[in-house]
Amino acid sequence: MQQTEIQRANQSYRLGITITEHLLLCEDECPAATGQFTRLLSELIISAKLISREVNKAGLADLLGATGNVNVQGENVRKLDEFANQALIHRMERSGLICAMASEENADIIKIPDNMPKGNYILAFDPLDGSSNVDANASIGTIFSIHRKIEQEECSSLNNFLRYGYEQVAAGYFLYGSSTMLVYTAGKGVHGFTLDPSVGEFLLSHRSITMPERGTIYSVNESYTEFWDDRTRNVVNYFKSSNNKRGKPYTARYIGAMVADFHRNLLYGGIYMYPADRQDPHKPHGKLRLLCEAAPLAFIAEQAGGAATDGSQRILDIKATELHERVPLFIGCKEDVAKAMVILRGA
Ligand code: AHM
Ligand code: MG
């Protein structure tokens, strides 16, 4: 009898293939592997477990609310943003695996202290994406993107970060939702792991995730409609209309935490959009950061058979020109993203 995807996922879960076993198996398949990448992911996993623990008890431990500080993006920093950022920086700077880091919360490159060993990886992360949801107990996440250091560059060189998305070695996210999940790609498909709190391990729950060619969900903050240009309005209208290829309106779903919106669309099929906002001087290129949000999710989307564009080009083909560069983002099922692009180009 043929097993369904869900049956296979359940079986792996019960048999308990841990993320570490999975990474070691992948290492075996790659003769050039040194084990550094496995160690790097393990460090990220420990940071995420710490963050997940704090997220789970946030309401009890005075971890809700804002710190009173404003970050480089002009956004209010919440206590959990700060905790997540510190947890990641603290672990990664001691790991001996990282050359330099960039966080959504820090204006500049985060250098590894002189007395710490350095590695060959460049890490960019959004420590707590969608953190405005925290106080309402809705899903949030951590996004990460990994590049190799450029050989001839100093660790702290900005050039290590100003790269094309297609150069990423790996990318992923941790989703702190009804359960905590890790979804990642190292360029050989997309795999999902669910944290089993009873054993404290991430177990393989979603092997080789693939998106459908066309989705049924559109996710966008429609309250900004009046700030979009006509073509962007046309894109959203297409998904809402019965005259689309689906023959009926797509379902609207918007959590306001991209990791959660993206994750649902990855599994169910759909498109997430954060367009440029011509009238807000802070968002002429949308809100989302290329290096720590758009590029890593674009890598995952493509590896799962989906696509991601800024409206004129593939996200992974954009070379960053500044650390906190923002890009409009249309990401999801291949056909839906292609259709959005056709409309945005005015074709
Ligand atoms: P953040 O990283 O500061 O949380 O901002 C990114 C988030 C996305 O996760 C989310 O989709 C979007 O901002 C929501 O913004 P808006 O409230 O403008 O719709
Ligand atoms: Mg974010």
What is the C-alpha separation between 45 and 88, in angstroms, rounded? Answer: 10
Residue 50 — very low, low, confident or very high, per pLDDT cuts 50/70/90?
very high
Pair 240, 199 in one domain: no
Which of 75, 82, 129, 135 best tests ligand 1's pocket when mutated (most atoms within 8 Å of CB)? Answer: 129
Q: What is the dihedral of CA 57, 58, 62, 63, to 10 degrees?
A: 140
211-270 residue pLDDT tens: 999 999 999 999 999 999 999 999 999 999 998 999 999 999 999 999 999 999 999 999
Contact 259, 140 (CB under 8 A): yes
Pair 40, 66 in one domain: yes
**Going by DSSP bridges, is the β-strand pair 110-111/66-70 parallel, antiparallel, or unpaired?**
unpaired
pLDDT at 6 (0 to 100): 53
Whole-angstrom Cα Rg for the chain: 20
Residue 31 — very low, low, confident or very high, per pLDDT cuts 50/70/90?
low
Cβ neighbours of 320 (radius 10 Å): 20
3 CA distance to ligand 1 centroid (A)? 38
pLDDT at 42 (0 to 100): 94
The H-or-E segment that residue 198 falls in is none
Structural domain count, the chain:
2
Pair 44, 92 in one domain: yes
Residues whose CB falls within 8 Å of the CB of residue 32, separated by 6 or more in sequence, listed in order: none
The residue among 141, 131, 138, 44 whose CA lies nearest residue 79 is 131
Which of 287, 324, 326 best tests ligand 1's pocket when mutated (most atoms within 8 Å of CB)? Answer: 287
In a domain, 261, yes or no: yes
Residue linked to tokens 């309401």: 59
Residues whose CB falls within 8 Å of the CB of residue 164, separated by 6 or more in sequence, listed in order: 316, 317, 318, 319
What is the C-alpha separation between 55 and 75, in angstroms, rounded? Answer: 20
Residue linked to tokens 């609207």: 252
Tell me which residues have their CB closer than 6 angstroms to ligand 1. 75, 104, 126, 129-131, 221, 256-258, 261, 287
Last residue of a domain, one of 140, 174, 206: 206
What is the C-alpha separation between 98 and 206, in angstroms, rounded? Answer: 28
Mean pLDDT for 110-138 is: 91
Q: Which atom of ligand 1 is nearest to the CA of 130?
A: 4
6 CA distance to ligand 1 centroid (A)? 31
Q: Mean pLDDT for the chain?
A: 90
In a domain, 211, yes or no: no
Residue nearest (by alpha carbon) to ligand 1 atom 15: 256
Residue nearest (by alpha carbon) to ligand 1 atom 4: 130
Last residue of a domain, one of 171, 206, 241: 206
283 CA distance to ligand 1 centroid (A)? 12
CATH code of the domain covering residue 115: 3.30.540.10
What is the C-alpha separation between 232 and 341, in angstroms, rounded? Answer: 10
Residue nearest (by alpha carbon) to ligand 1 atom 18: 221
60-116 residue pLDDT tens: 556 666 666 777 666 776 788 899 999 999 999 999 999 999 999 999 999 999 999
What is the C-alpha separation between 88 and 212, in angstroms, rounded? Answer: 33
Check pLDDT > 80 for residue 120: yes
Greater confidence (68 vs 344) lies with 344
In a domain, 212, yes or no: no
Judged by average pLDDT, the poorest of 22-26, 186-190, 306-310 is: 22-26
**Going by DSSP bridges, is the β-strand pair 121-129/98-103 parallel, antiparallel, or unpaired?**
parallel
In a domain, 278, yes or no: yes
Last residue of a domain, one of 185, 206, 227: 206
Pair 105, 237 in one domain: no
Q: Which atom of ligand 1 is nearest to the CA of 254?
A: 11
Pair 47, 171 in one domain: yes
CATH code of the domain covering residue 233: 3.40.190.80
Give buried/exposed letters for 20-40 (b at 16+ CB in 10 A, else e).
Answer: eebbeebeeeeeeeeeebbbb
Pair 197, 60 in one domain: yes
**Going by DSSP bridges, is the β-strand pair 307-309/329-332 parallel, antiparallel, or unpaired?**
antiparallel
Mean pLDDT for 25-35 is: 73
Beta bridge partners of 100: 111, 122
Beta bridge partners of 194: 181, 203
**Greatest Cα pair distance in the chain:** 62
Which of 71, 78, 288, 291 best tests ligand 1's pocket when mutated (most atoms within 8 Å of CB)? Answer: 288
Q: Which atom of ligand 1 is nearest to the CA of 261?
A: 11
**Residue 281 backbone dihedrals phi, psi, to 5 degrees:** -60, -20
Token pair for 221: 């903050």
291-332 residue pLDDT tens: 999 999 999 999 999 999 999 999 999 999 999 999 999 999
Pair 268, 132 in one domain: no
Residue 95's domain comprises: 5-206
Residue 269 CA: distances (Å) to CA of 137, 169, 241, 263, 345: 24, 25, 17, 9, 23
Token pair for 318: 């954009």
Contact 260, 140 (CB under 8 A): yes
25 CA distance to ligand 1 centroid (A)? 36
Pair 75, 10 in one domain: yes
How many residues belong to the chain?
Answer: 347
Beta bridge partners of 190: 185
Pair 189, 235 in one domain: no
Pair 201, 251 in one domain: no
Residue nearest (by alpha carbon) to ligand 1 atom 19: 221
Residue 136 — very low, low, confident or very high, per pLDDT cuts 50/70/90?
confident
Pair 74, 123 in one domain: yes
Residues whose CB falls within 8 Å of the CB of residue 91, separated by 6 or more in sequence, listed in order: 43, 46, 47, 50
Highest-pLDDT range among 33-47, 123-137, 138-152: 138-152
Instruction: Read off the pTM.
Output: 0.91
Pair 152, 116 in one domain: yes
Contact 329, 143 (CB under 8 A): no
pLDDT at 60 (0 to 100): 59
